[in-house]
Structure 1
Amino acid sequence: MTERVSDGPEMVRRMAPRLVPGHFAFRTLNDAADLAEALPQAQGMFREREGISVILPADPGAPLAMRQITLDVPSALDGVGLTAAVAGALARSGIACNMVAAHHHDHVFVPEADADAAMDVLRALADGSEGKS
């Protein structure tokens, strides 16, 4: 098993952002039949009071289409600072993001049109040059 990184600055340095192929959309499903049909395609899901939020494949250009950026660092679930650093850097660049923490990696969903700019921001954050001109 890979050793997990829990130190915030170390997680940021080692995060190696990777743009995942495909486009995704967040949807809420309340019907068991809809959920059963969607489950094999689901990129992720979470139970909320309003229903089951599911991240599903979407067509490019679809309303609210997102791109997924995986942070390829074995981040520890009790690590502190990676989410704040990533979300903060993207916010400073005017890029919306939805963070999803999974068991092995953290994932960032950004609007389709902002994916390339988000990759540039995250690479700069990792190499310590974010915000420097």
Structure 2
Amino acid sequence: MDKGETDLATLLRCMVPVLHDQDHGFGLLAVGMAMPAGLAPFAIVAEAEGTTLIAPAADLARHGIAHRAGWARISLTVHSDLAAVGLTAAFATALARQGISANVVAGWHHDHIFVQRERAAEAMAALAALAGPEA
């Protein structure tokens, strides 16, 4: 399996944030509830209290899953290694300085940040500033 970038300066310079169009929601399946047929969440987090589903808000609503909608997904296109140090702290700090919450999901290749949809443009600007003038 390919290894991602670990150098923080390179990660920041090359992170190229991409804002996705779909509104996402965070839904919750109670303990013991099965995944509805046909629902394909972006992410699934199993916790003792239930299973969190991150999916397009329209899909959660269509399947009758109670959720908090209004989240935009920003993907950092740089291939960050899972063992890289400092990337999450750097972008979370940049967003926090603007009063923007950051809910982060790390995949094998990329980090994905969920921010309030109404703050997405501000989040993109903060991430672009963090990446530097070449971004």
Report if TM-score (shorter chain) is over 0.5: yes
Given that 1:67 and 1:115 are in contact with CA atoms closer than 8 Å, whether structure 2 keeps it comes out as yes
Residue number in structure 2 paired with 1:57? 56
Tell me which amino acid in the other structure corresponds to 1:32: M
CA contact (8 A) 2:57 2:69 kept: no
Counterpart-to-counterpart distance in 2, 1:7 and 1:117: 26
| Contact kept? 1:71, 1:105, Cα under 8 Å | yes
Residue 75 of structure 2 corresponds to residue 73 of structure 1? no
Q: Return the alpha-carbon distance in structure 1 between the equivalents of residues 21 and 69 of structure 2.
A: 16
- For the pair 1:124 / 2:129, whether they are aligned, the reply is yes
CA deviation after TM superposition for structure 1 residue 41, in Å: 2.7
Confirm whether residue 91 of structure 1 aligns to residue 96 of structure 2: yes
Q: In the alignment, is the contact (CA less than 8 A) between 1:2 and 1:74 conserved in 2? A: no
CA deviations 1:31-90 (Å, max 9, x no partner) are: 433x2336x33011111111111102115xx95410000000000000001100010000
How far has the Cα of 1:96 moved from its partner?
Answer: 0.9
Provide the TM-score with structure 2 as the length reference. 0.84
Whole-Å Cα distance in 2 between the matches of residues 64 and 117 of structure 1? 19
Whole-angstrom CA distance in 2 between matches of 1:90 and 1:54: 23
Aligned position for 2:27 = 27
Q: Is the 8 A contact 1:28 1:50 kept in 2?
A: no
User: How many residues align structurally?
Assistant: 125
Partner Cα distance (1:17, 1:11) in 2:
11
| Conserved 8 A contact 1:41-1:57 | no
44-53 or 68-77: which moved more?
A: 44-53
Q: What's the TM-score, normalizing by structure 1? A: 0.85
Distance 1:99 1:108 in 2: 5
Question: Which residue identity does 1:20 align to in structure 2?
Answer: H
Tell me which protein shows more strand as a share of its residues: 2
Q: Which residue of 1 aligns with 2:87?
A: 82
Whether 1:113 and 2:112 are equivalent positions in the alignment is no
* Percent identity for Structure 1 against Structure 2: 39
Segments of 5+ residues of structure 1 without an aligned counterpart are: none
Considering only aligned residues, what root-mean-square deviation do their CA atoms show, in Å?
2.1
Return the alpha-carbon distance in structure 1 between the equivalents of residues 78 and 115 of structure 2: 19
